[in-house]
Amino acid sequence: MEIMDLIRALPGSVAQGLIWGIMAIGVYITYKVLDYADLTVDGSIGTGGAVAVVMMLAGVNPYVALVCATAAGALAGLVTGLFHTLFGIPPILSGILTQLGLYSVNMRIMGASNKAINVNQYDLILSLRDIPHAILVSVIFVAVTIAVLYWFFGTEVGRAVRATGNNANMSRAQGINTNRMKVFGLVLSNALVGLSGALYAQYQGNADVNMGRGAIVIGLAAVIIGAVLFGKIFNNFALRMLSVVFGAILYFVVIAVVLWLGLETTDLKLISALIVALFLAVPYLQGRCRIRRAGKGA
């Protein structure tokens, strides 16, 4: 229980938070912008990691591998989108179906449940061996991601995607093909998730078929923590995305504290679930208190 142990663990939490922050921005796009609870994430993050690691082991340039991992994530989003729009499968179920299928796909890609990639033998973009460098690299990726998305959501197509999530009725009345916009959003979101998975696999030095288990909860935690803590001050769209990344960093800091307090890594899923439940409950309970107080005043 040395406080120094905790402080030594924090830079790693920040790096993880930044990398998972990219995934959390993907979750933000589906959950907040599109109003679509997409559970593909748990599978597509593993797909991103698997594609990147396998390609790099085969000697492919790490940046090319990163682009391919992103594209693989996009493909997973496309499948979910088509399940929903073409076959009329409800949002949550279409995500679950893709996620389940991706387990097999990820196993096929890797040929094993875990594939290690050694930082000494391969030219990795980032690794936990050099955390300051990893932080720098992930900050750059986060910044570029936010800049590109800020531009995209300001374009005619991007605004149509936002309108679709905000009011599908109005969107169709204004000539927007809302099904196509949903697919766009899912593709974009899962592309980011794939990218995040590829970066995270390199960071931890392996891709694992289970690396995505519970990822959606971490993504939601980041989105919700960001909204609860920064929602009032961050009004701009780019700042909203930044608050999601802050949310992800805070999540990993909380996890570091919990571990430091002596809990096992296997307890983390429970802790994650409780954190998300807590932050979802806060705005709701605040609202109820306000109603009760208003009632008393009357």
Partner 1 sequence: MLELRNVSKTFNANTINEKRALSGLNLKLEEGDFVTVIGGNGAGKSTMMNAICGAWPLDEGQVLIDGKDVTRLPDYKRAAYLGRVFQDPMMGTAADMEIEENLAIAYRRGKTRHLCWGIRAKEREEYKELLKTLDLGLENRLRSKVGLLSGGQRQALTLLMATLKKPKVLLLDEHTAALDPKTAAKVLEISDRIIAENNLTALMVTHNMKDAIAHGNRLIMMNNGQIILDIRGEEKKKLTVDDLLRQFSVASGSEFSSDRALLS
Q: Which residues bind partner 1 (CB under 8 A)?
A: 152, 154-160, 162-163, 166-167, 169-178
Spatial distance between the Cα atoms of 151 and 147, rounded to a whole number of angstroms: 6
CA-CA-CA-CA torsion sign (209, 248, 224, 270): positive
Please say which residue, 236 or 265, places its beta carbon nearer to partner 1. Answer: 236
Q: What's the burial of 229, exposed, middle or buried (CB within 10 Å: 0-12/13-18/19+)?
A: middle
Least gap, CB of 148 to partner 1 (angstroms): 11
Least gap, CB of 185 to partner 1 (angstroms): 14
Least gap, CB of 232 to partner 1 (angstroms): 14
Please say which residue, 168 or 271, places its beta carbon nearer to partner 1. Answer: 168
Q: Which has the closest alpha carbon to 162: 55, 275, 29?
A: 29
Does residue 204 contact residue 43 with C-beta atoms inside 8 Å?
Answer: no
CB atoms within 10 A of CB 153: 18
Does residue 200 contact residue 19 with C-beta atoms inside 8 Å?
Answer: yes
Please say which residue, 48 or 158, places its beta carbon nearer to partner 1. Answer: 158
Least gap, CB of 236 to partner 1 (angstroms): 11
Spatial distance between the Cα atoms of 241 and 222, rounded to a whole number of angstroms: 10
Query: 154: which 2 tokens?
Result: 């300001």
Least gap, CB of 89 to partner 1 (angstroms): 19
Give the angle subtended at the CA of 153 by the CAs of 151 and 154, to the nearest 5°.
Answer: 65
DSSP string, 171-187: HHHTT--HHHHHHHHHH
Please say which residue, 100 or 170, places its beta carbon nearer to partner 1. Answer: 170
Please say which residue, 128 or 163, places its beta carbon nearer to partner 1. Answer: 163
DSSP for residue 38: -
Least gap, CB of 179 to partner 1 (angstroms): 9
Least gap, CB of 7 to partner 1 (angstroms): 40
CA-CA-CA-CA torsion sign (229, 204, 126, 63): negative
Please say which residue, 115 or 240, places its beta carbon nearer to partner 1. Answer: 240
- Can you tell me which residue has the tokens 């374009």? 155
Least gap, CB of 153 to partner 1 (angstroms): 9
Please say which residue, 62 or 226, places its beta carbon nearer to partner 1. Answer: 226
Query: 281: which 2 tokens?
Result: 């409950």
Please say which residue, 178 or 196, places its beta carbon nearer to partner 1. Answer: 178
Spatial distance between the Cα atoms of 131 and 143, rounded to a whole number of angstroms: 18
Spatial distance between the Cα atoms of 280 and 277, rounded to a whole number of angstroms: 5
